[in-house]
């Protein structure tokens, strides 16, 4: 085309030039017999002026509907001082049109395109018209941010000697992990691929293959229930390295994130990041991904209540493995009954029977339980929790993990309530990065009555804990690390097992995966490990979450070009969608609905 400039290029020094601009009609107004069009492209906005007296030029401009696509030839003219628009890069000039080509008239818009108004429009409607929604400068800005973040990460990895290798997305279904998306194989009737939940096994094979440093912006698929920070398909910055230990990994990731924050936001994030063990995170914050922008820390009162007259606390305090713990939600005593009921529901969802609390108002401790407390118990609570008027204290008396989970959830919910009441500030431009380390290697699954991997079955145990594998697997710590930012898990990984005998033991003796399943699902890995596997480890960063954090957005849908909605639907293309009977026949698949239908 004949485009000479973008809509963010012209400045007063260009006055007198004849230019050709293209773009979308952002706004149009008629003023004093003259028509003004703000012409917008990806780069910005330029004001174009249509004056009367040049054939039907102005009439054409007057008939333009917003978001129509036009091409304009005109002369750059400096604006008079009183009409300069300081908010626009091009605000000191305008282009006086001499001709116009209308490339496309825009139909009636389903919602206003103004960023502030459009952001409030129902998300499903915006997703149906995502091509329009994305066209808004704010959303194009998010795509640019995503691009810049990806560029920073790629540059850093390239400089650190990583090879970008693509691995298949059609893979093998494996029993551990989330639910797979299955893909039927037409050429192998009755057999299925699974879409990769992550390239975990391939990247480990690349290490055996001698790649040493691999990365990939990997598309991953998990058939899980969706939430604001989950999509059925997502992108991971997936990487793996040979001949490294955990310290090398921390340094690499800190370097990547530092560069990304600098090159996208211009923000210097201090490194190294603090580290916290899983045990400490659970003890203090009740969660393995603590938001450390605020305190409201959990405190332990188990010894205090060992002789208490309050049976519930006394019982927990004297049960091995159980604890009595509390948090002070400072300044939240005036929460509504509805808010309190909601907190109780949350506590119950974590297995608690209820949620014991003390409200402190006008010097009085209002609570059904304080009548059982001794003066000594009250004084100890008051001192440790720094209890003042206006506070509300929440308790959990339960097994350690449950008490942590309950208070962890109550802490986050209380913070959200305090934030909504403007009593707590949680700035999205404060970046509290944190490594959470020393996770247990295994967790006991009460339903399945067996151990399951806390991360995945390829994670290596901490060296000095290895002997415990045979005697007390629950005590073995894994060489697993998570990178957390403001309460969001940005990614995680581990140093891997590279010894085939240890890997086989973990599969069969600890995880109790039947030997034939181990052979059919993981046999090739064990085989590969017996052909000279180097020590190796890796990590995957959720790229969508990284970008959402950079953008200060809580939903990853905002920073994906074409996200699925909360029901996993692409509302623009309208899928998932039915397929033809022939397609199903070719795949030798019969749907249950079809079986149920009476034969025609
Ligand atoms: N594949 C793992 C995940 O997706 C990350 C890793 O261990 O590298 O969580």
- 88: domain CATH number is 2.40.50.140
Q: How far apart are CA 441 and CA 459, in angstroms?
A: 7
Cα(282) to ligand 1 centroid in Å equals 22
Instruction: Mark which of 387, 405, 420 sits at the end of a domain.
Output: 420
Q: How far apart are CA 518 and CA 521, in angstroms?
A: 5
Q: What CATH number is associated with residue 243?
A: 3.30.930.10
Please check whether residue 226 lies inside any domain of the structure.
Answer: yes
Cα(346) to ligand 1 centroid in Å equals 29
Indicate the pLDDT class of residue 296, thresholds 50, 70 and 90. very high
Together in a domain, 234 and 358: no
Indicate the pLDDT class of residue 354, thresholds 50, 70 and 90. very high
Sheet holding 170-171, edge to edge: 170-171, 192-195, 182-184
Is the pLDDT at 1 greater than 80? The verdict is no
Please check whether residue 207 lies inside any domain of the structure.
Answer: yes
Please check whether residue 508 lies inside any domain of the structure.
Answer: no
Is the pLDDT at 308 greater than 90? The verdict is yes
CA-496 nearest atom, ligand 1: 7
Together in a domain, 350 and 314: yes
Q: For 192-197, which contacts have Cβ atoms below 8 Å and span 24 or more sequence positions? A: 195/169, 195/170, 195/171, 195/221, 195/233, 196/167, 196/168, 196/169, 196/170, 196/171, 196/220, 196/221, 197/221, 197/222
Q: How far apart are CA 571 and CA 125, in angstroms?
A: 8
Together in a domain, 134 and 97: no
Q: How far apart are CA 448 and CA 295, in angstroms?
A: 36
Is the pLDDT at 594 greater than 90? The verdict is no
Cα(200) to ligand 1 centroid in Å equals 6
Is the pLDDT at 597 greater than 80? The verdict is no
- Give the per-residue pLDDT at 265: 98
CA-480 nearest atom, ligand 1: 7
Sheet holding 488-495, edge to edge: 163-164, 213-221, 233-242, 536-542, 488-495, 480-485, 433-437, 275-277
Together in a domain, 299 and 261: no
| Section 239-263 average pLDDT | 98
Cα(250) to ligand 1 centroid in Å equals 15
Round the average pLDDT of the chain to a whole number and report it: 95
- Tens of pLDDT, residue by residue over 55-93, are 999 999 999 999 999 999 999 999 999 999 999 999 999
| Section 512-541 average pLDDT | 94
Q: How far apart are CA 497 and CA 503, in angstroms?
A: 6
Q: What total number of domains does the chain contain?
A: 3
What is the best residue among 492, 494, 536, 545 to mutate for testing ligand 1's pocket, by most ligand atoms within 8 Å of CB?
A: 492
- Give the per-residue pLDDT at 482: 98
Please check whether residue 274 lies inside any domain of the structure.
Answer: no
Longest CA pairwise span in the chain (Å): 96
The two three-digit tokens of residue 204, written as one number: 């480990």
Cα(238) to ligand 1 centroid in Å equals 7
Together in a domain, 263 and 308: no
Asked if omega into 546 is within 30° of 0 (cis), the reply is: no
Instruction: Mark which of 392, 420, 448 sits at the end of a domain.
Output: 420
Together in a domain, 358 and 251: no
Together in a domain, 298 and 257: no
- Give the per-residue pLDDT at 175: 64
Which helix H or strand E contains 63, and what residues bound it?
Answer: helix 57-63
Please check whether residue 504 lies inside any domain of the structure.
Answer: no
Going by C-alpha positions, the residue among 572, 501, 566, 488 that lies closest to residue 533 is 501
What is the best residue among 176, 493, 545 to mutate for testing ligand 1's pocket, by most ligand atoms within 8 Å of CB?
A: 493
Going by C-alpha positions, the residue among 90, 92, 96 that lies closest to residue 79 is 92
Identify the domain containing residue 547 by its residue range. 122-269+534-600
The 3-state DSSP class for residue 76 equals: strand
CA-458 nearest atom, ligand 1: 7
Together in a domain, 261 and 368: no
Q: What CATH number is associated with residue 370?
A: 3.30.1360.30
Please check whether residue 156 lies inside any domain of the structure.
Answer: yes
What is the best residue among 236, 437, 460, 545 to mutate for testing ligand 1's pocket, by most ligand atoms within 8 Å of CB?
A: 236
Please check whether residue 277 lies inside any domain of the structure.
Answer: no
Q: How far apart are CA 203 and CA 501, in angstroms?
A: 20
Together in a domain, 137 and 91: no
Instruction: Mark which of 420, 441, 457 sits at the end of a domain.
Output: 420
Distances (CA, A) of 580 to 462, 586, 593: 53, 10, 13
Is the pLDDT at 600 greater than 60? The verdict is no
Is the pLDDT at 500 greater than 90? The verdict is yes
Indicate the pLDDT class of residue 428, thresholds 50, 70 and 90. confident
The set of protein residues with a Cβ atom below 6 angstroms from ligand 1 is 198, 200, 492-494, 538-540
The two three-digit tokens of residue 460, written as one number: 């290596």
Side-chain half-sphere CA neighbours of 270 within 13 A = 4
Together in a domain, 228 and 163: yes
Contact by Cβ (8 Å): 229, 566: no
Indicate the pLDDT class of residue 599, thresholds 50, 70 and 90. low
- The DSSP secondary structure of 14-57, one letter per residue, reads GTT-EEEEEEEEEEEEEETTEEEEEEE-SS-EEEEEE-SSSTTH
Phi, psi of 35, rounded to the nearest 5 degrees:
-105, 125
> Considering the chain, what percentage of its residues have pLDDT values greater than 90?
88
| Section 348-356 average pLDDT | 95
Give the residue carrying structure tokens 């309050």.
310
Together in a domain, 334 and 257: no
| Section 284-289 average pLDDT | 98
- Give the per-residue pLDDT at 448: 85
Together in a domain, 134 and 90: no
Q: Give 576's DSSP letter.
A: S
What is the best residue among 171, 439, 540, 545 to mutate for testing ligand 1's pocket, by most ligand atoms within 8 Å of CB?
A: 540
- Tens of pLDDT, residue by residue over 84-139, are 999 999 999 999 999 999 999 999 999 999 999 999 999 999 999 999 999 999 99
What pTM does this model have?
A: 0.93
- Give the per-residue pLDDT at 132: 97
| Section 530-546 average pLDDT | 97
CA-199 nearest atom, ligand 1: 1
Is the pLDDT at 164 greater than 60? The verdict is yes
Please check whether residue 360 lies inside any domain of the structure.
Answer: yes
Weakest mean pLDDT among 110-114, 414-418, 451-455: 451-455
Distances (CA, A) of 164 to 208, 216, 544: 16, 5, 19
- Give the per-residue pLDDT at 58: 95
What are residue 572's DSSP bridge partners? Answer: none
């Amino acid at each position: 085309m004949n485009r000479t400039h973008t809509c963010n290029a012209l400045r007063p020094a260009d006055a007198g030039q004849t230019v050709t601009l293209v773009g979308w009609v952002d706004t149009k107004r008629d003023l004093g017999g003259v028509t003004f069009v703000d012409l917008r492209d990806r780069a910005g906005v330029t004001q174009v002026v249509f004056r009367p007296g040049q054939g039907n030029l102005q009439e054409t401009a007057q008939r333009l509907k917003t978001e129509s696509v036009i091409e304009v030839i005109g002369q750059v003219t400096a604006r008079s001082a009183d009409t300069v628009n300081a908010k626009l890069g091009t605000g000191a000039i305008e282009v006086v049109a001499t001709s116009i080509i209308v490339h496309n008239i825009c139909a009636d818009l389903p919602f206003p395109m103004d960023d502030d108004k459009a952001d409030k429009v129902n998300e499903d409607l915006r997703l149906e018209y995502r091509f329009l929604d994305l066209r808004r400068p704010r959303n194009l800005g998010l795509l640019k941010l995503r691009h810049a973040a990806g560029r920073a990460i790629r540059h850093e990895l390239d400089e650190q000697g990583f090879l970008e290798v693509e691995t298949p997305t059609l893979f093998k279904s494996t029993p551990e992990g989330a639910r797979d998306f299955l893909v039927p194989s037409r050429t192998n009737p009755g057999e299925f691929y699974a879409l990769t939940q992550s390239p975990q096994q391939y990247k480990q094979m690349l290490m055996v293959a001698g790649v040493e440093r691999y990365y990939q912006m990997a598309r991953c698929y998990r058939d899980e229930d969706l939430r604001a920070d989950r999509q059925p398909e997502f992108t991971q910055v997936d990487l793996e390295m040979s001949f490294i230990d955990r310290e090398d990994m921390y340094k690499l990731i800190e370097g990547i994130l530092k560069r990304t924050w600098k090159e996208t936001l211009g923000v210097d994030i201090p490194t190294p990041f603090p580290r916290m063990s899983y045990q400490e995170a659970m003890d203090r914050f009740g969660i393995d991904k603590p938001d450390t922008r605020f305190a409201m820390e959990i405190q332990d009162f188990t010894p205090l209540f060992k002789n208490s007259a309050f049976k519930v606390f006394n019982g927990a305090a004297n049960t091995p493995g159980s604890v009595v713990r509390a948090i002070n939600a400072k300044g939240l005593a005036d929460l509504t009954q509805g808010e309190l009921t909601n907190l109780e529901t949350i506590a119950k969802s974590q297995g608690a029977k209820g949620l014991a609390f003390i409200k402190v108002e006008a010097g009085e401790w209002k609570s059904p339980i304080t009548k059982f407390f001794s003066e000594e118990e009250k004084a100890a609570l008051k001192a440790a929790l720094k209890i003042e008027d206006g506070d509300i204290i929440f308790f959990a008396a339960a097994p350690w993990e449950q008490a942590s989970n309950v208070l962890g959830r109550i802490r986050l919910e209380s913070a959200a309530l305090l934030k909504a009441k403007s009593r707590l500030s949680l700035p999205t431009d404060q970046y509290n990065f944190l490594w959470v380390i020393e996770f247990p290697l295994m967790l006991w699954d009460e339903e399945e009555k067996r151990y399951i991997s806390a991360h995945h079955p390829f994670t290596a145990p901490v060296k000095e804990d290895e002997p415990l594998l045979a005697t007390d697997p629950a005590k073995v710590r894994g060489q697993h690390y998570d990178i957390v930012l403001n309460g969001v898990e940005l990614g995680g990984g581990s140093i891997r097992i590279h010894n085939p005998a240890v890997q086989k033991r973990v599969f069969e003796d600890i995880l109790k995966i039947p030997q034939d399943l181990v052979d059919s699902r993981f046999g090739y890995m064990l085989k590969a490990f017996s052909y000279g596997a180097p020590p190796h480890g890796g990590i995957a960063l959720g790229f969508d979450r990284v970008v959402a954090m950079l953008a200060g957005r809580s939903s990853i849908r905002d920073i994906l070009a074409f996200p699925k909605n909360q029901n996993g639907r692409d509302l623009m293309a309208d899928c998932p969608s039915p397929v033809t009977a022939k397609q199903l026949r070719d795949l030798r698949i019969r749907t249950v609905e079809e079986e149920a239908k009476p034969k025609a």
